[in-house]
Every structure is written in C-alpha cells, then in structure tokens.
Structure 1
C-alpha cells in the first residue's frame, strides 16, 4: 500500500510539473510590442532596399525584432496595411487609416517574401 502512495505522489508531481511547463511554453511567445522598445527606426523604402539588395543579411538583422517603419499607406485590406507597396503590416487592432497618408507602424518582422517582393510584419500597431 505504501508503494502505491509513493507512485501516486510521483505521478501527481510529474503531472503538475508537466502542466506548468506546458503553460509556460505556450504563453512565453506572447509579446507586448506596445511596451517593448523598438530596435530599428527606418522608412519602408529603406528597409525594402536592404531586403532586395541582400535578403539573407537583412533577414538576420531584422527577423523577429521590434521595428518602427514609416511610409505611405498604399493599401488597406481588413486588418492588413501595406506601406509603399512593399511592407505588409498585420494590425493587432484595426484602426481607420486613409489611403496615401503617412504613418509610422511598430511591429515584429516575420520575414521577406521573395516571390511577392514584400516584407511582412505582424503584431503591428500605429504609432501616434
């Protein structure tokens, strides 16, 4: 009987550790870009130039980093804003933005699409 309780206690401890480990891993990826400090401040034209010149070097420099990119709004589609036809920003919260207006977007660089020649950002918000 004592052996049963030892095994049960070990099983309970393992389950509790597994539960907390799972929760830690699943929620650790969430970032609050509104509070996070931007690592780069650049225009949409300049950042696109870096990616079109040497996408591997630019990817290593910008990927998964918080950046502020300024540019002209050339497209608004659902919660995605395109700056200067080359930088696609997926907004966290949809805000009213006029076409051809100048905006500054803060977001996380997720990658460069060679086929569409477009830089992609997510978790974006409009900097006021």
Structure 2
C-alpha cells in the first residue's frame, strides 16, 4: 500500500511540474545578447542590399537571424535608429547621442530580413562598433 501511494505521488508531481519544466527550459529561452555575440561576417550596406535584391530567399538563408556587422555611411540618424547608405535600417539598442550623419560607421546587429515596402534590409538590437 505504501509503494502505491509513493508511485501516485510521483506521478502527480510529474504531471504538475512537467509542463512548467518544459516551458522554462525548452520553450522559453532568454533573449539573445547580440552585443556580446561574435558576428558571422562584416559586409557593406550596399552589398547586403544587393544580395537581397538579387535573390531574397538565398539572402535570407545566409543572413536571416544571424549577427552581422554593417559598414557604410550613416545617411539618416534618429535617437533610436539609423539608416546606412540608404539601404540598411538599424534599430538601435541605446539612444544615439552623437550625430553620425554622413560619417562612416560600423554597426553590429541581427538581420531580420528585407522590407519590401521601404526597400531596405532591417537589423535590430544594433550597436555601434566604431565611429
């Protein structure tokens, strides 16, 4: 009788805490820290946009959800975003306090794909690597 109670108790514990464990350790993962990740490549903004213009599916397989560095000239700067060479839109991690307009810049971020509406490649979680 005692073994049966222990077995039932173990089964109840597994049934009640199993989904929580699966959710915490398999489904829900901490957000990536792109700033501390090593980039897979450094590419100019014009070359990246050209790859997407030629073949978006192939470019997605190469760059989508990957940490990359973009080199170019900042053509548009706001407090929370930058456009590099008019080709790559970068959503910044932190507020941009210095004016980088028309200056060469290197940005690291995660590629989230090509925006057909605006005709730009988009990156998020971006940070300035050098100025």
What is the TM-score when the length of structure 1 is the normalising length?
0.85
Contact 2:79/2:97 (CA < 8 Å) preserved in 1?
no
CA distance in 1 between counterparts of 2:16 and 2:92 reads: 38
> What does residue range 14-25 of structure 1 map to in structure 2 within 5 Å?
14-24=15-25, 25=27
Larger-Rg structure: 2
Corresponding residue for 1:124? 126
RMSD: 2.0
| Aligned residue number for residue 91 of structure 1 | 92
Instruction: Check if 1:104 corresponds to 2:67.
Output: no
| Residue-pair matches, total | 127
Unaligned runs of 5+ in 1: none
| TM-score between the two structures when normalised by the length of structure 2 | 0.83
Asked if the contact 2:79/2:96 (under 8 Å) is kept, the reply is no
Residues 15-54 of structure 1 mapped to structure 2, 5 A cutoff: 15-24=16-25, 25-28=27-30, 30-54=31-55
Shift of 1:86: 1.5
Q: Please list every run of at least 4 consecutive aligned residues from structure 1 whose deviation after the TM superposition is greater than 3 angstroms.
A: 1-9
Cα deviations by residue, 1:11-35 (Å, 9 ceiling, x for unpaired): 222332221221222125x212222
